[in-house]
Copies of this chain bind each other. A is one copy, B any other.
Amino acid sequence: MIKNTLKTYPLFSECDDNFLESLSRQANVFDAPKNKVIFLSQEDANNFYILQKGWVKLFRETLEGTQAIIDVIPQGHMFGESCLFEDDKYPFSAEVIESATLISLPISALKSEIEQNPKLAISMLSSMARYRKQQDKELEHRTLQNTPQRIGCFLLRLVDQNAKGPVTIHLPYDKTLVAMRLGMQPETFSRGISTLKKATGMQVKGSTIQLDDVSNLAEYSCSACSSEFPCKSLKTTQNF
């Protein structure tokens, strides 16, 4: 039941049943295989999406074809809702990178409800503020951290921030994509990982990483960041 799914989202927590009812009637659930393009940058933005399963990357590319990964969307998150108050074109392209199940929802419905329901507007504001903070941090990292540190920081965001003792991390998707996501080449990522191994004693096997203790890694990565380790300001919970 889509309505119940919607209800679990903080963004919709303050919405009444009527609206959710009507929204779910306009919803469209579909599967999409790897490499399927959901929408292209500059297309008319009619829908936003909830990613129920799989992974989706958001990106832009230059005329020469070089890509900049804007974000990689994890299961359970929304995307494409951001163009709400812009020019009604998607500001980036979206492509499935791990076969996915998606719900598409009309932006127009969200927009009109926001205009009528102040609580939804507030939720939307919170959600955007949260996102903004992350982006902000991302930019800082590009300025202050070198590549191994950025990788370390990425890994730390994948673990429970309060974990004590040994932890196991699974890279959520391709190393190549992680590299792009962090704004570096795959080769650089690979070398960065080995630097981290030497510097922090972490164990790597395929896409599984073991740490005796997060503190080594935290110290290594967070020394070049404005916030110290238990890094509240970063994506730890659901965004929307």
Contacts of A133 in B (CB 8 A): 86, 91
In the complex the two chains form, is B118's CB within 8 Å of A70's CB? no
A2 within 8 Å of B (CB atoms): no
Q: Indicate which residue in B66, B83, B122 contacts A224 across the interface (CB closer than 8 Å).
A: B66
Structural contact, A140 and B223, CB atoms closer than 8 A: no
Interface string of A172-212 (1 = CB under 8 A from B): 00000000000100000000000000000000000000000
Residue interface mask A139-167, B partner, CB < 8 A = 1: 11011100000000000000000000000
Convert A80-97 into 0s and 1s, putting 1 for each residue whose CB lies closer than 8 angstroms to a CB of B.
001111110001100000
| A70: chain B residues within 8 A (beta carbon) | 136, 139-140
Q: Across the interface, do A66 and B144 meet the contact criterion of CB distance under 8 Å?
A: yes
The count of identical subunits is 2
Is A41 interfacial (CB 8 A cutoff)? yes
Task: Please pick, from B87, B118, B224, B228, the residue contacting A121 in the complex, using a CB distance under 8 A.
Answer: B118
Q: Which of B60, B84, B232 contacts A140 (CB 8 A)?
A: B60
Q: Which of B41, B92, B139, B224 contacts A135 (CB 8 A)?
A: B139
A170 to B84, CA, bound (A): 35
Q: Tell me if B142 and A142 are in contact (CB < 8 A).
A: yes
Contact for A128 among B128, B143, B144, CB less than 8 A? B128
Q: What residues on B are CB-neighbors of A122 within 8 Å?
A: 85, 114-115, 121
**What distance in Å separates the Cβ of A229 from its nearest Cβ neighbour in chain B?**
12
